[in-house]
Amino acid sequence: MMAPEAAAAFGPFDGRSWLNTAHQGPLPRPAVEMAARAAELKAAPHRIGDDDFSAVPERLRGLLGQLVGSPPDQVVLGNSTSYGLHLVANGLDWQDDDEVLVIEGDYPATILPWQRLAQLGVRVRPLRPAGDLLAAAELTAAIGPRTRLLAVTWVDSFTGRTLDLPELGAVCRQAGVVFVVNASQALGARPLDVSVTPVDAVVACGYKWLCGPYGTGFAWLHPDLLDRLRPQQAYWLAMQAGRGLDQMRETSVRDDIGVHAFDVFCPANFATALPWIASLELFLGTGIGTIADWDQRLVDRLVAGIDPERYRLISPAGGPARSTLVVLSAVDGSSEKRHRRLTEAGIDIAYREGNLRVSAHLFNQPAEIDRTLAALHADGPG
């Protein structure tokens, strides 16, 4: 499927331009239809079979495996980015004086789970890169004898800068450090193949660039890391794996159910799982590479049209560090007012940390970029 064909599955947007996918992505119409179908199923529960409680989450798990290039049995079903991060933080066997490295100023979801480990004697040390991005040489110098884990955000929500995962991952592998990546601002807009990228855990929500419902997410776990994690829960339905609902009184805790031991409770949440399945099928049917190319064409058009005398570009203008997030600041200090004006004009972008953030995706068109540029450069004070 070509990008324009997939784009036709979105909207209508009531005459507005939604350029704020970094905040949340819209549901495509097939997902909206599946959300309605989920409501119909619950309205008439006889339509829901016992097997659906395992078939639906397994279908979702398989699609997420395709997304990142892994077998389904390495994918944990969650409800957010934080779910996966806490799963790793709470599942590892920590020792007093172990160290976790993070990047100073990173997204709070990527930092907070490790800070909770202070009660176990774990230290969290923020790294302060000399440049815009953490470099391999800096990471190599920062790793010490007690360093156990590095947690980073692949695409920074505030600057739009993209880390070099292969470079950082290679350093972590060499040092025996677990490498955890928050990919929420990347997956769906850029390809990832965990079979060749040296990462140990990739976590993401589903409601941004993957255009799923709110309350969706997953974690991919490298088999070696999965073997090291202690399950923190004993969800009864997960323990039923391989047994029908006519055999429900068995209460032994099993250790042979793999990733199912880590899934969020009620992974067959039809109201969220079914529409997200529809969104993922659209994305995978189109091809993440095709979507990435389309998105970057839109970013090219936007970046090329920005007047440097009126706006300072915070995000990279080009190169591998550029993402789909274009972050800029009005030179005259009118960013907040400009944001209000764009909203009033029917152009939805984000105002974050004093800057404007434009995030175009599959469903956007070049004409919307031109409309946004015209509004950004409209005469008059901010």
**Residue 353: inside a domain:** yes
pLDDT at 294: 97
Helices (H), 8-94: 29-43, 52-68, 81-91
Q: Please tell me whether residues 130 and 268 are part of one structural domain.
A: yes
Q: Please tell me whether residues 210 and 224 are part of one structural domain.
A: yes
pLDDT at 156: 97
Per-residue pLDDT of 27-57, as tens digits, reads 999 999 999 999 999 999 999 998 999 999 9
Return left, alpha or beta for 51; rule: phi > 0 is left, psi -120 to 50 is alpha, else beta: alpha
Percent above pLDDT 70 for the chain: 99
SS3 336: helix
192-216 b/e with 16+ CB inside 10 Å = b?
bebeebbbbbbbbbbbbbbbbbebb
Average pLDDT rounded to a whole number, residues 126-155:
97
Q: Please tell me whether residues 17 and 41 are part of one structural domain.
A: no
**Pick from 208, 367, 187: which is nearest to 291 by CA?**
187
pLDDT at 3: 77
Q: What is the CATH number of the domain that holds 334?
A: 3.90.1150.10
Q: Please tell me whether residues 187 and 336 are part of one structural domain.
A: no
Per-residue pLDDT of 336-374, as tens digits, reads 999 999 999 999 999 999 999 999 999 999 999 999 999
Q: Please tell me whether residues 44 and 180 are part of one structural domain.
A: yes
Q: Please tell me whether residues 100 and 188 are part of one structural domain.
A: yes
Q: Which residue has the tokens 């639906």?
A: 56
Residues spanned by the domain of 201: 31-284
- CA–CA gap between residue 60 and residue 62 (Å, rounded): 5
Mean pLDDT of the chain: 95
Q: Please tell me whether residues 20 and 43 are part of one structural domain.
A: no
**Residue 211: inside a domain:** yes
Per-residue pLDDT of 291-316, as tens digits, reads 999 999 999 999 999 999 999 999 99
- CA–CA gap between residue 163 and residue 138 (Å, rounded): 13
Band the pLDDT of 264: cuts 50, 70, 90: very high
Examine the pLDDT at 318 and tell me if it is beyond 70: yes
Q: Please tell me whether residues 268 and 359 are part of one structural domain.
A: no
Pairing of strands 147-153, 178-182: parallel
pLDDT at 380: 59
Band the pLDDT of 260: cuts 50, 70, 90: very high
Examine the pLDDT at 243 and tell me if it is beyond 90: no
Q: Please tell me whether residues 308 and 271 are part of one structural domain.
A: no
As a three-state string, the secondary structure of 220-276 is EECHHHHHHCCCCCCCHHHHCCCCCCCCCCCCCCCCCCHHHHCCCCCCCCHHHHHHH
Q: Please tell me whether residues 203 and 304 are part of one structural domain.
A: no
Average pLDDT rounded to a whole number, residues 71-85:
98
pLDDT at 42: 95
Q: Please tell me whether residues 70 and 179 are part of one structural domain.
A: yes
Using the 3D structure, point to which of 284, 302, 334 is the last residue of a domain. 284
Which residue did the predictor score with more confidence, 226 or 250?
226
**Residue 382: inside a domain:** no
Q: Tell me how far CA of residue 353 lies from CA of 282, 350, 357, in angstroms.
A: 33, 10, 10
Q: Please tell me whether residues 127 and 238 are part of one structural domain.
A: yes
How many domains does the chain fold into?
2
Which residue did the predictor score with more confidence, 247 or 372?
372
pLDDT at 155: 98
Per-residue pLDDT of 182-234, as tens digits, reads 999 999 999 999 999 999 999 999 999 999 999 999 999 999 999 999 999 99
- CA–CA gap between residue 18 and residue 29 (Å, rounded): 15
Band the pLDDT of 252: cuts 50, 70, 90: confident
**Pick from 210, 154, 204, 184: which is nearest to 322 by CA?**
154
Burial class (CB in 10 A: 0-12, 13-18, 19+), 268: buried
Q: What is the CATH number of the domain that holds 259?
A: 3.40.640.10
Q: What token pair was written down for 280?
A: 């993922």
**Residue 367: inside a domain:** yes
**Residue 381: inside a domain:** no
pLDDT at 370: 98
pLDDT at 263: 97
- CA–CA gap between residue 316 and residue 303 (Å, rounded): 9
pLDDT at 240: 83
